[in-house]
Each structure stands twice: as C-alpha cells, then as structure tokens.
Structure 1
Amino acid sequence: MLKLESFFFFSFFLFLAGCGNQSKPVSVEQEIITPLSAGNAVDDLLPYIDSVEVVPLETTGKALIGLVGKILLLPNGNVLIKSTASMFMFSPEGKFLFQIGKNGRGPEEYLTIDDVCLSQDARELWILGGCEIVKYSTETGRFIRKTTLELPEICNGFDAIASGPGHSAFLYYCPQMDENNFSEDFYCLYRYDEQGRILQKFLPRKDYGLNIALITQTSDNRYILRPQDSDNICYYLSDSLPVPRVKIDFGKETIKNRYSSDLQTYLRSDYYKMPVYIYDTRDYFYFSYCGPEATDCYCIHSFKNNKTITWERKGDDADGMFMIGGADKDFFYGIYNDYRDWDEILLNRQDLLKRAIIQKTHLRIPEDSNPLLVKVKFKF
C-alpha cells in the first residue's frame, strides 16, 4: 500500500532516532491535546474556515517553482520558498524578489540543502548541508559565511536545523535504520555556537522514527521539533534548552516505542502514531498523524477555546494535494499546485481541506504559471 505517498508526498524516507529528555526541561505550562477522546470528527471543513487568501507567485525565468520542500515566513511578510535545490524570496503580494544562494561547489555556494531556517532576528537564512551551515542575508540574498561543524563521533552529518539564542543553532541527527543502534546510547539533538562547536546535547534516542518534517517553523519565527517517541511531546526550540510545550495524547491507542523497525508494519499497525507537519498560529495548532492501516489523519486544536476538530483523508485523488506548510499569527500557509480548472475537479475525491479551499475560492492556476500560495484562517 502506498498510502504513504499521500501522507508524506514531498519527503524522503529515512529512519531517525526518537528521543527523550536528558536534563530538566524549561519550566513552562504544557498543553495536552487529545485528538481521539476530545476531538470532534468532521466531514466538512467549510464551517470551520473563516477566510482563504490566494497569492499568485510571480512566474519568471529566474524563479520557477517545482517541488516545494519548505516555506519560511519573515516578519515583514516576505515568503521564502525552498523548491528542489533553490531558495526563492517573494513579497507578501507574490512578487519575485531574488534567489538566495546557489547550489554548487564554489566558496559562496551550498553543496546541498538538507534543511533551512531563519536566524532568530530573521536577517539571515541558514542552509544546512550535512556538516556545513551556509548563511545568507535575507535582505539582499548575499553570502555571509560558511561554517563547518564539529561532528559527534556517531554522526556524519545533520538532518534538521533551528536557530537558537546568540546565533547558536539546534541540529538534529537521524541515524540510519538499524536496530543495533540501540546497543549504544547517543544523543539526537545538539546546540552549536556560531563557530561550529558543540555547546550542549539533548534527547537520547528511545525509538525508531522517520526523517520527515523534523523541525518546522511556526508563527513568530519559532521552531518545533516534532515528537520522536511514544511520549509524543513537541519541543519548541527558541531558548537554550528544548521546551516540551505540547503533548499529543492518543491514550491507550498510542503505539509503543520500538514497535517495529519495518516501515510498513509500523504504519499499518492498529495504533495511532507519528504526529508530523506541525504548525501553530496565535490561536490554533495543526498537525497530521498516522492512524490504523496507515490512514492519513489531521487535527486542528484551538488554544483559545480548548476545542479540537479531526478528520481523515478519504478522497483518492492525489493530484495536486494541498498540505499545510507554514503559519503566521493568523493564517496557515500551503502551496496549491493543481493545474486543473476548479470545475473539472471532482470534489468528493479531494481531501476535506483542499475541497473547502476550492469551494471557498474557485481558484485556478493560469497555464505555464507558478503554483499559488494559499493562506487559510480557521474559526471555532
């Protein structure tokens, strides 16, 4: 079954290390979200959507958007889009501004993009490529510096990045899928200084996991490390220590740690697992997760009203799937890339979120144009 393609349509499949606590977390009130016991399962999202805004992304020969891997939002409203091995900056209205950096082997180029983030002041884009961080100005796109990282013995490169205080960086390492990895303790999350030296290490491995959307940017340029084991704790990475801010509780239907090292066995199990694609606005918290038989499930929780809605993917049309990929204080963002006319799309074959967006906007992408940036605001 390759429902996995629809659930993780733009990611690579590598097993990573799940993690627990090394030291005492920062003292903070922890939100607990219970999708199964408190969630209201819905079959129509229209009543829960306040508004939808559509931003056409300017099409030029210098910025052709293909497969989108990440969206980063700047405080001034500009939007950075990672498309394949390129980084493109757009204005809030969708005007193309400039490309940041270039893929190559030159002194001011990056060799690969494993992950990206903004510095805490959002003045720099940090591109992680294995054992290097390449930094560029978000104001001009110009190269700033390249830092080679001091690597732990067990690690030959990192897979995810978030900015920390004082120009430090959080880096997450995903070991290859190998059950023998549990025979030796090792840490998954490291904090580095600006010179590439290790400052701290956190979260010893406890479980298998997938290298998919490990760290996501959320509102106010904060970063979330998604849950890495059956504790299902979301860590916010903005202070010098990871902050266990949100726990996603599936109750007795939570899968156990080390359930299986086989991907299909794990996904098809009768349990709920793997909260991923995690974003929050000022009032709402969004994530997707995997249900029994690898069912694609989605959840939005209102912090303000302590209400939760959930839904399952039922449509079988995987063309131009719409996924949440960013958030500011009010809106969730995603890329709409279905080039069919809206009235040619069979709504009953679409996921509920894409269906509601089409019903709300009747959007259409002109031929030979970039996809659309869509902003969704919820209400409940």
Structure 2
Amino acid sequence: MCKQKPQTDGAIFVDLDRPEKVSLFDYFRSIELIPLETSSDVLIAGIMKMIVYQDKYYALDKNQCIIFVFDETGKFLYKIGKRGQGVGEYVFIEDFNINPFSGKLEILEPYGKVHVYDLSGNYIEIKQITFPGFRIAHTLAAIDEQTHVFHTMFEPEKIIYFNLDEQKLLHQEFKENRRLSSFSNNPYQYRGDWFFFRPVHPIVYKMGSRKLEAAFRFDFGTYTREGKTAVFSKESERSLSKCVEELFDQFPYLIHSVRHNSKYVFASLSRIDLEDKVNVIYDRASGKSKYISEFTEKVQFNSYRGEEIIVTDEYVLMPCQWVDLEKRITKEMLDSKQKEIFEKLLKSEMEENPILIKYWFK
C-alpha cells in the first residue's frame, strides 16, 4: 500500500497516481440552493465573478458587461450597466472589485482605466494606469489605501504594483512564458488578502504589500514542474487545440482553480488521460491530501464553465447555470426544503438565471 509523503517541507503532497473516491459530506454538513431571481429585465448569460459584500451578491455577467446585485435570498435589487463612451460609462468590464479601504466599487477596463462608483452604481471618478510600456491589465486588487495590484496575461512580467492616485509604478514581477498565459487564472481573495496562482507553476503566492510572497506550494512528486517556461510551436499560436496538445506534452497537469480557508485547500486539475476535471482537497489538520477522481454522489464540484468559486471559513459558494444543476446536485443530497426548491427549478419551462449552491462546512 502506498503511503503519503510526509509534509515536513511544508508542501502539499498530492499523489497523482493514487485517485480516491470520497463523499462531499466528509467535508460539508448541508447544501443550500439560492436561485437568483429571473425576469424579462433580469436575464444573466453567465456569472464570471461574484462578490459577497454586506449581505448582497454582486454578480458580473461579462458578456453583457453588467453587474447584477441581489440580496442574500437571491431577490434582484438593481444592476450596474453603463456601457458607452461618455462620462460615467465604460466600454468593457474585464474585472471588478469592491475596495475595502474606500468602500467603493471599481470596474477595470483592460487598457488602463479604473472606473469608480458607489455601491449603488453612481459614478464618482475615473483613474488611469499609465507608465511606459503598459499595455493591458486583466484583474485588479486593492492591497492597501495606496496600492493596487494588476495582473496581466500577456506581458513578460505578470504582476504590476501601482499607485492610482499618484500615477506611479511601484513594482513589477513574475516573468512567465507568454503562451502559458492562454491558460491564466485570476487571483482570489481570502480574509482580505489576495492570492495568485498559475496553471502549471506549483507555488501559490500571497500578494504582499510590496511584492509576491510564497503562501504554499504543491508537490506532485515526480510530476512537479517549475512551470514558468515551455516550448510551443508557431502552429500553436493559431490553434488552441494544438497549444493544449503541446502543453500536455510538457506538463502532466493543468491547475484550473485554487482556493483555501483555515481548514482546507481546494484545487481542481485537468489530466490528459481524463475527460473531466479532478479535485484535490488538502486537510490542514491531518496534513493529508486526497486526489479525487470521483465523488460518491457522482456530481461535479469545481468550476465547470469558468465560474468563480468563493471559499470562506463557513461555506463554499458556487454559481451554477440552470442547465447544469443536475450535474452538480442530486435530490438525495438535499433536505426536504431544498428538495422542493430543486424540483421546482427542474420543472421550469424556461431557462432560469444561475443558481448559487452554498455548501456549509461541518
């Protein structure tokens, strides 16, 4: 019988040759469904990012460039959608956040504009990212009252520390092969800190006040790669399938998602020999990880269509498209009240807005 490698070096060892089958209820005590209100005026194509703030859900529909706001029960409150080229309008939303230091909502346009609104969507001001060599930013995070960190997929250095008020570049770092950025992952937030991870690089970084700091790392044994460089053909620049093929020729895994809290580290991976994503759950108390090929409930527990997952110390919150609900949940997983909601959703004759699935930890 294989034994897990000791965690003495602080790394999270994951045995990719030893898949396991576990139950979601090994980790969660109950599951709650929160359908987001659907009407002719409130139709969401898909949620690419969600923020929970002051008992409200702020949901970004990137295709429509609209931020929909719901209360904690899923009732629609209002939307922020001011697309255009006039004052107080934006052309495109690449990312958005609620700045914890100012209490303002910030919308990122990729080519260097940060639009600032109050939490009701009233325009306040616009700020610029300007310095020699800047071209594009894909995510933003407020680190402190003076510092934002921007992440770019395509530039040689992926992380930009910048003072928006003083229009001052503070620091750039993390060089990586440009083609690997095709599989880029967005930073995520936990307890006010921001964390940055990459598709094949094994280290997860905390965005410190002045630079990246290693938070934790994965050890995939002989499969571990440094993951900052790769070799791709010119053909791969024209063909995503060719790029994926060449990626898996060099790396045995692709990291799609990482999240953590005080008890667990969650990750989802792709393997070339598996059709679906697989899960890794690391238990901080035991110091052991499970490489999960399938849950006993036979459902998916990962970012199925690229939706952003939120992990707190109390729950995991996962947006789910209405058409995918039965891939995520079975009736047997729910209590009587939640079964009624589940069955009502399945009986709907028209497509519903996404449902928030809330997994409450034990």
* TM over 0.5, shorter chain: yes
Corresponding residue to 1:307 among 268, 280, 288: 288
Corresponding residue to 1:78 among 41, 56, 72: 56
Matched, 1:126 2:106: yes
In 1: Cα distance, 2:323 partner to 2:225 partner: 38
In 2: Cα distance, 1:45 partner to 1:100 partner: 36
Match of 1:254 in 2: 224
Matched, 1:276 2:261: no
Aligned residues between the structures: 326
Match of 1:241 in 2: 211
Match of 1:373 in 2: 356
The SS at the match of 1:285 is: strand
In 2: Cα distance, 1:356 partner to 1:300 partner: 21
Q: Bigger CA drift: 249-258 or 102-111?
A: 249-258
State the shift of 1:222 in Å. Answer: 3.0
Write out aligned runs for 1:286-365 (5 A). Answer: 286-293=266-273, 295=275, 296-312=277-293, 321=304, 325-339=309-323, 350=327, 354-355=328-329, 359-360=333-334, 361-362=338-339, 363-364=342-343, 365=345
In 2: Cα distance, 1:124 partner to 1:214 partner: 25
**Deviation readout 1:152-186 (Å, 9 max, x if unpaired):** 42x4211222221114211112228xxxxxxxxx4
The SS at the match of 2:127 is: strand
Corresponding residue to 2:72 among 73, 92, 95: 92
In 2: Cα distance, 1:213 partner to 1:117 partner: 19
Contact 2:254 2:270 in 1 (8 A): yes
**Deviation readout 1:56-79 (Å, 9 max, x if unpaired):** 2122444322111111122x2321
State the shift of 1:198 in Å. Answer: 1.1
Instruction: Among all aligned residue pairs of Structure 1 and Structure 2, give the percentage whose two residues are the same amino acid.
Output: 17
Amino acid at match of 1:359: M
Match of 1:13 in 2: none
In 2: Cα distance, 1:213 partner to 1:162 partner: 16
In 1: Cα distance, 2:313 partner to 2:101 partner: 17
Amino acid at match of 2:321: N
State the shift of 1:102 in Å. Answer: 1.8
**Deviation readout 1:211-250 (Å, 9 max, x if unpaired):** 45632433324322113653x1111225332221121221
Q: Is the radius of gyration larger for structure 1 or structure 2?
A: 2
Contact 1:273 1:289 in 2 (8 A): yes
Match of 1:191 in 2: 161
Corresponding residue to 2:176 among 192, 195, 205: 205
In 2: Cα distance, 1:121 partner to 1:101 partner: 24
Q: 1:288 to 1:321 in 2, by over 3 A?
A: closer
Q: Bigger CA drift: 355-364 or 286-295?
A: 355-364
What TM-score, normalized by structure 2, do the two folds share? 0.78
The SS at the match of 1:252 is: helix
Contact 1:44 1:356 in 2 (8 A): no
Return 5+ residue gaps in structure 2 as ranges: 1-8, 237-242
Contact 2:147 2:164 in 1 (8 A): yes
In 2: Cα distance, 1:126 partner to 1:117 partner: 5
Matched, 1:219 2:190: yes
In 2: Cα distance, 1:357 partner to 1:220 partner: 33
Corresponding residue to 2:143 among 164, 183, 187: 164
What TM-score, normalized by structure 1, do the two folds share? 0.74
State the shift of 1:114 in Å. Answer: 1.4
**Deviation readout 1:102-133 (Å, 9 max, x if unpaired):** 22212101111112222133722222111111
Q: 1:212 to 1:159 in 2, by over 3 A?
A: farther
- After superposition, the CA RMSD in angstroms is 3.3
Q: 1:152 to 1:358 in 2, by over 3 A?
A: farther
Matched, 1:173 2:143: no
